[in-house]
């Protein structure tokens, strides 16, 4: 019996391709009867590489992949989970969240200094409102410089733009075999990660059962439970990439603990709280945590940002 062709969609950045290849190999191992091939789809993130994310709109990293799935041009798509909007198309589903890599943020320094060692006024490059807000809440003397592009582009801009360094996800650097560039991992007491950071998401059509068993075999229970709790937090905030919010859920035995942050972009207001309960209650805890932050000043922060997008 000849292998069955399988079309796996991805963005075209080096990191996205590395992640898609990992999923392709995992599918081969799970089902030798498959012949998975990678299909590169150009998304809005690549079409407008220098434009600010809020100017492009919701789903900047996923919109075109979703359209290809809905049109039957792909059998599944691979995403960084943190790039997916908190509300997904009703005809699509996240069928697998493989074992999560580290969710930590990492500082890549120009000269080996840690964040705490940087002089007042040092320039840190990041295009993330979440990173900017939390860094300024901790050290308001820093200058935050907008920085977009894939991992290699942002690393190159450190020297080109005279930056003291930049913040990147440890998981991405590890997948690209660039972990040796990390100066320090940033403690979550300073910088909570993006929702789903470090996790991959494999998305397919909700009604498409042809490869369901093979795709479901890639799912990791702990990673799914923690990630869905975090996504529930973000969904209640109705937040996307432009919201200065982060969350991290951890499985501890039969319990789950989730910590969340919501901040004004200038860092002047930075709200944090946490919830803990039974593992099955993760999504409810995430939603309740978001509600607590909204009631304690978060609603005013979101009103000030003009954000009401999933």
pLDDT, tens digit (0-9, with 9 covering 90-100), for 203-217: 999 988 889 999 999
266 and 134 within one domain: no
Res. 46 pLDDT band, cuts 50 70 90: low
Q: What CATH number corresponds to the domain at position 26?
A: 3.40.190.10
At residue 55, the pLDDT reads: 36
Residue 148 lies in a domain: yes
Q: Is the pLDDT of residue 309 over 80?
A: no
Least confident span in 51-65, 66-80, 277-291: 51-65
> Are 215 and 95 contacting, i.e. CB atoms less than 8 angstroms apart?
yes
pLDDT value at 307 more than 60: no
pLDDT value for 206: 92
Question: Which residues constitute the domain of residue 31?
Answer: 4-99+199-219
What does the pLDDT average to over 145-154?
A: 92
- Bridge-partner residues for 38, per DSSP? 8
pLDDT 10s digits, 235-251: 999 755 578 999 999 99
State the chain's mean pLDDT as an integer: 91
Rounded Cα gap, residues 169 and 186, in angstroms: 10
Number of independent structural domains in the chain: 3
Q: Which residues contact 268 (CB under 8 A, 6 or more apart)?
A: 136, 137
Q: What percent of the chain has a predicted confidence (pLDDT) above 90?
A: 81
Known active-site residue 111: no
90, pLDDT greater than 70: yes
Rounded mean pLDDT, 282-300: 96
Averaged over 221-226, what is the pLDDT?
Answer: 97
The answer to whether residues 116 and 160 belong to one domain is yes
What integer pLDDT is reported at residue 210 of this predicted model? 86
Which of 184, 167, 173 lies closest to 122 in space, CA to CA? 167
50, pLDDT greater than 90:
no
In a domain, 297, yes or no: yes
Q: Which pLDDT score, from 0 to 100, does residue 47 have?
A: 52
**Residues 205, 171 share a domain:** no
What number is the average pLDDT over the span 89-96?
Answer: 95
**Torsion from C-alpha of 162, 14, 242, 223, nearest 10 degrees:** -120
Together in a domain, 168 and 215: no
265 in the same domain as 145: no
Verify that 92 and 207 share a domain, yes or no. yes
SS (H, E, C) 7-32: EEEECCCHHHHHHHHHHHHHHHHHCC
Verify that 240 and 122 share a domain, yes or no: no
Confidence tier at 59 by pLDDT (50, 70, 90): low
Same domain, 70 and 204: yes
What pLDDT is stored for residue 208 in this prediction? 84
Question: Does residue 119 surpass a pLDDT of 60?
Answer: yes
> Looking at the domain assignment, is residue 153 inside a domain?
yes
19: Cα within 13 Å, side-chain hemisphere: 28
Catalytic residue (one of 83, 111, 180, 220): 83
Quickly state the pLDDT bin for 88 (edges 50, 70, 90). Answer: confident
pLDDT confidence bin for 148, thresholds 50/70/90: confident
117 and 37 in a single domain? The answer is: no
Give the pLDDT band (50/70/90) at residue 61: confident
Asked if residue 207 and residue 72 are part of one domain, the reply reads: yes
pLDDT in tens, 153-203: 999 999 999 999 999 999 999 999 999 999 999 999 999 999 999 999 999
- Whether residue 37 is predicted with pLDDT greater than 60 in this model: the reply is yes
Residues 274 and 244 both lie in one domain: yes
């Amino acid at each position: 019996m000849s292998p069955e062709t399988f079309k796996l969609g991805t963005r075209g950045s080096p990191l996205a391709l590395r992640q898609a290849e990992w999923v392709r190999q995992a599918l081969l191992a799970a089902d030798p009867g498959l012949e998975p091939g990678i299909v590169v789809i150009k998304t809005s993130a690549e079409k407008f590489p220098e434009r600010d994310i809020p100017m492009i709109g919701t789903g900047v990293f996923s919109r075109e992949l979703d359209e290809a799935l809905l049109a039957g041009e792909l059998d599944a798509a691979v995403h960084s989970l943190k790039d997916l909007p908190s509300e997904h198309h009703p005809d699509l589903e996240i069928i697998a969240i493989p074992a999560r890599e580290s969710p930590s943020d990492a500082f890549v320094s120009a000269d080996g200094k840690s964040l705490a060692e940087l002089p007042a006024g040092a320039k840190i490059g990041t295009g993330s409102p979440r990173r900017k807000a939390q860094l300024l809440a901790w050290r308001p003397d820093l200058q935050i410089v907008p920085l977009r592009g894939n991992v290699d582009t942002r690393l190159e801009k450190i020297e080109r733009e005279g930056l003291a360094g930049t913040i990147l996800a440890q998981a991405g650097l590890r997948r690209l075999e660039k972990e040796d560039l990390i100066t320090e991992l940033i403690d979550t007491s300073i910088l909570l990660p993006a929702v789903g950071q470090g996790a991959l998401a494999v998305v397919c059509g909700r009604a498409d059962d042809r490869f369901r068993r093979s795709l479901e075999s890639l799912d990791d229970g702990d990673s799914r439970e923690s990630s869905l709790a975090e996504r529930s937090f973000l969904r209640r905030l109705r937040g996307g990439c432009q919201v200065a919010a982060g969350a991290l859920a951890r499985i501890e035995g039969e319990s789950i603990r989730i910590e969340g942050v919501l901040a004004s972009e200038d860092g002047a207001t930075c709200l944090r709280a946490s919830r803990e309960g039974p593992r099955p209650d993760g999504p409810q805890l995430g939603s309740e945590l978001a509600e607590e932050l909204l009631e304690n000043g978060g609603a005013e922060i979101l009103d000030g940002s003009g954000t009401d997008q999933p």
